[in-house]
Amino acid sequence: MKENTYNPSYIANLGKDIPAGLVVFFVALPLCLGISLASGAPLFSGVVTGIVGGLIVAWLSGSEMSVSGPAAGLTVIVLNGIETLGSFESFLLAVVLAGAIQLVLGFVKAGVIGLYFPSSVIRGMLAAIGLILILKQIPHFLGADEDFFGEMEFFQPDGRNTFSEIGFALSGLQLGALIVGAISLVILLLWDNPKLKRFSFFKLVPGALIAVVFSIIINLIFKNYFPALAIAPSHLVSLPVVDGIGDLQKELRFLSLEKLTDPSLYVVAFTIAIVASLETLLSVEAVDKLDPHKRRSNTNRELRAQGVGNMVAGFLGGLPMTAVIVRSSTNVAAGGQTRVSAFVHGVFLLLSVLFLASLMNQIPLSALAAVLLVVGYKLTKPSMFKAQFKLGFEQFFPFIVTVLAILFTDLLIGICVGLAVGVFFILKANYKSPYFYQREDSSDHQTIRLRLSEHVSFLNKASIILTLDKLPANSHVIIDGENSEYIDYDVLEAIQEFRKTAHERNIKVDLLNVPDVSVLEMH
């Protein structure tokens, strides 16, 4: 698969990437800790994975905007894997083997699977994640949630569900946490005001940093002057405090080869590799939709990067990792431009462990919940639902089914349901060869004509994208849809994105009788 055609300048974008990385760090830290807790793993293991995801995977990744770390969707697999293998140290060996499997998947180009996710399903996933972030953060915002920060499933371990948890939180809210959350939310909303963005201070300093600083100060005031409002320790960040190399060695766990001949080890490793790879491909495809530069990630390279990341994390005592949509979408929302923002988040995670644990443990979760509430709203704005509805029933129905399925189950189950519905609509269309390729060479330039066939369905998307990627530079490309009765929306979107970036390879593009996606969305 072709690399991104947009070549960003890492130095030029530091002014945006460093603040974005800091915001991602604030979100990632409690997520890493919460996922470790929910997985039945040592608390430090999730942070190890977050650090590896930032410092190593960010540079190997096939995506400029994705952020890798421990995923809430793997908690059940981790919990069951540790129980099956008898110890966390034996489970770490399964993580290393899973990374090796992902490395092989990347080299055999299994990442092409990512091209077969319909846009309606991917947008449904983003909208669902946004809704879940809002619903799941409300209890933390109120200071009355007993579940881990970052928990995403509808049915919770405590017997409650996403909706009943909000009712429970309302009946037992903590006023101090609510005040801190509300002030943090106001700061974040004010910081996003376009009028304030005209001033360099508001551009360079992320609102999340100001919200976090104020939340710590307010809680200290509560402790000293209004003890009844002081936020309980269970609703603050809880990072293990490391005082020197000795403490660090106590926190780290290292793999055991004891189960090397146990068949169950390889079952667990294969399960981690497949589920983590699918979640990664889904997240990367989704973040490509959010990317303002419309860059398309190299999914095979991403699988290889995840493989290396999981092998390193397993050796260092970390949980399995994926590219994670919550962190990635936070990165986009915070204004990140390149992979440097993911690297910066990893640097901050490492610094927090080594030097800043006591300070980090003063951060109220309600302030971080406010950050995720804003991210959630940006992912699931009403305008997204309206735009999908205008695209017609065949686009809207898989979208809304995906939203509801993810909301009431979990990410992977919901995606599978959405894909099943999407495939049903795809199979209704006749499947034929998507185009006829005609090449005309002359002395001064090369003209390539792609005549689209009568019916071009989503099944043709991968073929067309790969063909467009391989078109030679300095050529004239004519995409002709004169004979087409039906062109799938996803194919039209791929063609339009190619046209927007073709100039970077000095390719002139003419579209004949090919509908404009922006016009379709308007009407």
Residues 30 and 166 in one domain: yes
> Do the domain assignments include residue 462?
yes
Q: Which CATH number fits the domain that encloses residue 455?
A: 3.30.750.24
Residues 85 and 180 in one domain: yes
Sorted by sequence, the CB contacts under 8 Å of residue 335 that are 6+ apart come out as 16, 19, 20
Residues 336 and 484 in one domain: no
Helical ranges in 58-199 per DSSP H? 58-60, 75-85, 88-107, 119-142, 162-171, 175-191
Mapped onto helix, strand or coil, the DSSP state of residue 259 is coil
Residues 387 and 419 in one domain: yes
3-state helix, strand, coil in the chain (%, to 5): 65, 10, 25
Residues 286 and 320 in one domain: yes
State the Rg of the chain over Cα: 24
Residues 375 and 453 in one domain: no
Residues 180 and 278 in one domain: yes
Q: What is the pTM of this model?
A: 0.82
> Do the domain assignments include residue 428?
no
- Say how far apart CA 397 and CA 470 lie, in whole Å: 34
CB 101 within 8 A of CB 354: no
Sorted by sequence, the CB contacts under 8 Å of residue 53 that are 6+ apart come out as 67, 68, 69, 309, 313, 321, 342, 346
> Do the domain assignments include residue 6?
no
Considering 423, 454, 478, which residue would you say is the last residue of a domain? 423
Report the domain count for the chain: 2
HEC sequence for 1-17? CCCCCCCCCCCCCHHHH
> Do the domain assignments include residue 490?
yes
Q: What is the reported pLDDT for 160?
A: 85
87: tokens are 């110890």
Residues 88 and 129 in one domain: yes
> Do the domain assignments include residue 2?
no
Residues 377 and 260 in one domain: yes
Q: Which domain holds residue 304?
A: 12-423
pLDDT digit of tens for each residue in the chain (523 aa)? 444 445 567 888 999 999 999 999 999 999 999 899 888 899 899 999 999 999 999 999 999 999 999 998 888 899 999 999 999 999 999 999 999 999 999 999 999 888 778 888 999 999 999 999 999 999 999 988 777 777 778 888 777 888 888 888 888 889 999 999 999 999 999 998 888 878 888 888 899 999 999 999 999 999 999 999 999 998 999 888 877 777 777 778 888 899 999 999 999 999 999 999 999 999 999 999 999 888 889 999 999 999 999 999 999 999 999 999 999 999 999 999 999 999 999 999 999 998 899 999 999 999 999 999 999 999 999 999 999 999 888 889 999 999 999 999 888 888 889 888 887 876 665 444 566 677 776 656 788 888 888 778 777 787 788 888 888 888 899 998 888 888 888 889 889 889 888 988 889 999 988 887 665 555 5
CA torsion 28→30→35→36, rounded to 10°?
110
Burial class (CB in 10 A: 0-12, 13-18, 19+), 244: exposed
CB 361 within 8 A of CB 242: no
Q: What is the reported pLDDT for 345?
A: 97
Considering 365, 400, 423, which residue would you say is the last residue of a domain? 423
> Do the domain assignments include residue 518?
no
> Do the domain assignments include residue 272?
yes
Instruction: Give the DSSP letter of residue 218.
Output: H
Residues 416 and 439 in one domain: no
Residues 303 and 448 in one domain: no
Considering 398, 423, 448, which residue would you say is the last residue of a domain? 423
Q: What is the reported pLDDT for 5?
A: 46
Residues 234 and 292 in one domain: yes
Mapped onto helix, strand or coil, the DSSP state of residue 486 is strand
> Do the domain assignments include residue 517?
no
CB 51 within 8 A of CB 353: yes
